[in-house]
Structure 1
Amino acid sequence: MKNRNTARRSLRLIPCVLSIAVGSAWANPEPVRDAAPLPVVVVTASGAALDIHDAPASISVISREEIERQPVYDLATLLRRIPGVSGGNSPTGDQSKIKLRGLPDKYTLILVDGKRQGNSADTNYRPDLGRQDLNWISPEMIERIEVVRGPMSSLYGSDAMGGVINIITRKVPKKWAGSATANYTRPQDSDRGTAHQLGLNLAGPLADGVGVRLGVSQTRQNPDDTSGGLHGGVGGERNDTVTGQLNWALAPNQNLSLDASYGKQRATASSQLNAKNRPVQPAWGASELVRTSVGIGHEGRWSFGKTKINLYHNDYDNKIAEATAKSSDTAFDATLEKRLNFGFEQLLTLGGQWKREKLTNTDTIGTVPSDYNGKEVSGASLSGSTSALFAEDQIYLREDLTATLGARLDHHGKFGNNTSPRVYLVYHPLPEWTVRGGVSKGFRAPSLKENSPSAATQSGGNGCGSLRPLGYVNEGCYMAGNADLKPETSESGEIGVAYARAGWDLGLTYFRTNFKNKIDYAPLGKAHGYWWTKMQNIQKARTSGVEATATIPLSKDISLRNNLTYMAEAKNLSTGANLLATPKVSVFSALGWQVNDQLYAEVTHQYTGKQLDGGNVQTKAYRIVDALASYKLGQQFTLRAGIENLFKKGPKADGAVNYYVPGRRVFVGATSNF
């Protein structure tokens, strides 16, 4: 009871904090500078940096300013604000993962400063039981996040069939500077766990031409307390990360960088046990997953062009009791950017990549006595290598018309060669208007586990439903890989129009993607004493829809930002079933008020439409409303406070929560810049 009263008092404090901040703002009014906005430059949509209005792709940017205005316990809570993005609205399960244009998370490539983060999914007992690899970097170190929606295989290869999330870090300044952040979030319901966040970023010069950057962060979500009979509780999670970078200017036009990072994720169950002596709230995710990463890079500007070279290595170690579950990848990337003038001014990018992957999992690989053909299996390790060459040419046909031509040739040790071309046009009929569109091909090579018959996960019943017509009755089955798989391929097209002037920013895009050789489990029946399903290329699929954005300046200081996604299709064409759980319609709106140079206030509204799963409605539509305010005390200190899920809404059907969305919570936080 005491905790509930404390929660209510915390809620009552929020209006007081906001009213004090607003009162101070009105007592000391300072006009907002009426300066023209700086151009937004992006690096993910093409081989070179471009103004976002010239980018040959559908791309959105989350700025440093947006990151600082709220506690960032999980980057998914930021990414779900972008059109074409679903998920990120629950701390556990599939709904915690970000999906681009209706595709599962395994179709999205995650980068930090253009470098792959690796993949921890196959170190879990089942790939879908692990968390998405988004939070291996301190939010304090992030300058912006760029999200490209749609296939980008022509630049990035197999992993980018659905899109790319590129986390851009803050640069090392010429003078020592840093920031420290602390956030605390408390649910109104005292049975729910509190959340904490601490972050530190420090960077500056060590000597002439040598600089260093260090970032440390901890985020912690405590598990819910079920001792009072709480239903629908969830376990907790803790993330610790340390990231460092050393920059050395070898010459005025050459830079060498050394990167290293260490992170640990831990999922915690509740302390309360049920009648079977198991936690009432089981942990979701790895009990202890450790990631280490090292890399070296060089950038040079020469008379013949600009070069970039990166060599890096990622390790994931899932600390499973009485088992070894590790994955690693080593990658080498190199690009050359050169300006040409053969009839038209052109910007040519040439590049290559080599990557080596290795997976060891004694819990899921080589554990079955024989494969589905009766062949004996042994060993718990898998490995594979890929290499690629790619080229992209941006041709400036006219001052207002640019064509981007690109192609990538990937060579896989098992699947041979695959070519991914792309053609894209960007046209400005008037300075304020942009018309863009293009077509591309994409592919996704099977993962190491998907391609191996010895990688057979034992299912206790989940995943075995397709065997029931063959006589299966809740006996458990093996879900096996397949050495004869072919890569998934896609053909994608989009066309869009945008208008930007005097604070107005409007956009509308239609997209459509057809998939072939879709990989999924197919029933085999009973063989050698076991029930089997295995990965097969049996399906075709299609996704299509519309993305719309509208930023409207209601006054000089107040703006309304809206993003809408309508999924016309996300269908398995072979079975007629919906491709995955994804909302038919989702809308994000933000009403922001820059009261003066010190105070910013915002109310956001997130509408999540009906969730479709296997042809059935899984949840009802629901709306989440958040309110926040941030107040700057000079240039060095920022206070923020807010209420999440103001009206305590969430997805419910027949009185039962289908997946957990946190209820009403209050947060307070502060950032100090020094």
Structure 2
Amino acid sequence: MLSPDAMLTLGLRYDRSERYAAQLTPRLYAVWHPLPGLTLKGGIGSGYRVPALKQADDDVWEPSGGDGRSRDRGNSALKPEQSTNYELGLVWEAQNGLQIGAAGFHTRFRNRISRMDLCRTPAGQAPSCELNGTHHVAVTQYVNEDAATLEGVELTFDLPLDQVRISANYTWSNSRITSGVNAGRPFHNLPRHMLNLGLNWQADEALEFWSRARFRSRTETLGRSAGRPSHLTVDLGVNHRIGKAMTASLGLYNIGDVVMADDPFAEGRRLYLGLGGRF
């Protein structure tokens, strides 16, 4: 701690793997409260991510997608992902609970782990990607992007109003692969614009209604498919507390049944019923 209003954090992480070289990743982060309710924060840090076992094995064909009708293939040549991350942001909190935040970030990647389409069924057609005598919607493989950058801005908003809470967050991202066969292209399936809206109403001590809306702009995919269009999904639900320990939940997700025809990870309209307890 530098002063009652300022804090500096230093960190150092050590990773060791039987398959990959050991790595040290340092981190430096600062937080400053110049005025009541106002927080400035920023830092620089390194990242290091070793491929999971399923990602680094050519013989692994993992079922994927909401219905498991696609396959992700491992890659024994996969290298660990390394990154350098820069972040600067501020948060303002009013006495009534209103909280507004903004942050900018810039990340430089080396050997970023991503996926690339080996085969993808055209929209509206029956699964056509053949693998061991079975047809699938899509087949992808884990790959490294030699060098890449990701930068953007995040905005957050949260407002409690007695029994109602309104929340929103928006992210603008600009991604670029800067070397290799995909140089100049954005990241696989990463939207440039993402917007999330939330509304909660605490009707009484036991009953809560909630709603969520999520917007994703058009994305590109690496490989053979043309990308996916922008889309909006809406969810609604209710939670009812039963006594002191039990809560019953009902949720209707993706009310509009928005599904990309060639997206193996898409989940259509679905109903959730749940009963939870705390002890």
Q: Do the structures match in fold with TM over 0.5?
A: yes
Picking from 15, 40, 43, the partner of 1:435 is 40
> Structure 1 residues 595 and 577 mapped into 2: Cα distance closer, same or farther (>3 Å)?
same
Picking from 222, 227, 235, the partner of 1:618 is 227
Larger radius of gyration: 1
Give the AA of the match of 1:497: L
CA shift at 1:635, angstroms?
2.2
Deviation string, structure 1 residues 227-286 (Cα, Å, up to 9, x no partner): xxxxxxxxxxxxxxxxxxxxxxxxxxxxxxxxxxxxxxxxxxxxxxxxxxxxxxxxxxxx
- The yes-or-no answer on 1:588 pairing with 2:196 is yes
Identity of aligned residues (%): 27
Contact conserved, 1:562 with 1:588, CA < 8 A, in 2?
yes
> Structure 1 residues 639 and 438 mapped into 2: Cα distance closer, same or farther (>3 Å)?
same
> Structure 1 residues 632 and 494 mapped into 2: Cα distance closer, same or farther (>3 Å)?
same
Give the AA of the match of 1:578: P
Q: Normalising by structure 2, what TM-score?
A: 0.71
Structure 2 unaligned residues grouped into runs of 5+:
62-72, 116-141
In the TM superposition, what are the counterparts of 1:75-154 in structure 2 within 5 Å? Answer: none
Give the AA of the match of 1:549: T
2:70 matched residue in structure 1: none
Distance 1:645 1:538 in 2: 33
In the TM superposition, what are the counterparts of 1:537-556 in structure 2 within 5 Å? Answer: 539-553=146-160, 555-556=161-162
Distance 2:187 2:38 in 1: 35
Contact conserved, 2:50 with 2:81, CA < 8 A, in 1?
yes
> Structure 1 residues 439 and 598 mapped into 2: Cα distance closer, same or farther (>3 Å)?
same
Give the AA of the match of 1:563: N
CA shift at 1:444, angstroms?
3.3
- The yes-or-no answer on 1:513 pairing with 2:122 is no
Q: Does the residue aligned with 2:34 lie in a helix, a strand or coil?
A: coil
Distance 1:570 1:403 in 2: 31
1:567 matched residue in structure 2: 173
2:84 matched residue in structure 1: 491
Give the AA of the match of 2:249: R
Distance 2:114 2:233 in 1: 34
Distance 2:270 2:79 in 1: 47
Distance 2:55 2:265 in 1: 30
Distance 2:143 2:247 in 1: 54
Picking from 582, 585, 604, the partner of 2:212 is 604
> Structure 1 residues 400 and 617 mapped into 2: Cα distance closer, same or farther (>3 Å)?
farther
Picking from 548, 558, 583, the partner of 2:164 is 558
Distance 2:41 2:24 in 1: 23
Give the AA of the match of 2:198: A
Contact conserved, 2:75 with 2:143, CA < 8 A, in 1?
no
> Structure 1 residues 399 and 580 mapped into 2: Cα distance closer, same or farther (>3 Å)?
same
* Aligned-pair Cα RMSD in Å: 3.4
With 603-612 and 638-647 compared, the bigger mean Cα shift is at 638-647
Contact conserved, 1:623 with 1:650, CA < 8 A, in 2?
no
Q: Does the residue aligned with 1:613 lie in a helix, a strand or coil?
A: coil
Deviation string, structure 1 residues 534-570 (Cα, Å, up to 9, x no partner): x9977111111222211123x3111111122221215
> Structure 1 residues 644 and 408 mapped into 2: Cα distance closer, same or farther (>3 Å)?
closer
Distance 1:608 1:538 in 2: 23
Distance 1:449 1:440 in 2: 27
> Structure 1 residues 671 and 579 mapped into 2: Cα distance closer, same or farther (>3 Å)?
closer
Contact conserved, 1:570 with 1:580, CA < 8 A, in 2?
no
Please state which structure has a larger fraction of its residues in strand. 2
1:425 matched residue in structure 2: 30
Please state which structure has a larger fraction of its residues in helix. 1
Give the AA of the match of 1:591: L
Picking from 398, 404, 429, the partner of 2:3 is 398
Q: Does the residue aligned with 1:405 lie in a helix, a strand or coil?
A: strand
1:643 matched residue in structure 2: 252
Distance 1:644 1:520 in 2: 28
CA shift at 1:667, angstroms?
3.6
Corresponding pairs, count: 238
Contact conserved, 1:640 with 1:670, CA < 8 A, in 2?
yes
Q: Normalising by structure 1, what TM-score?
A: 0.32
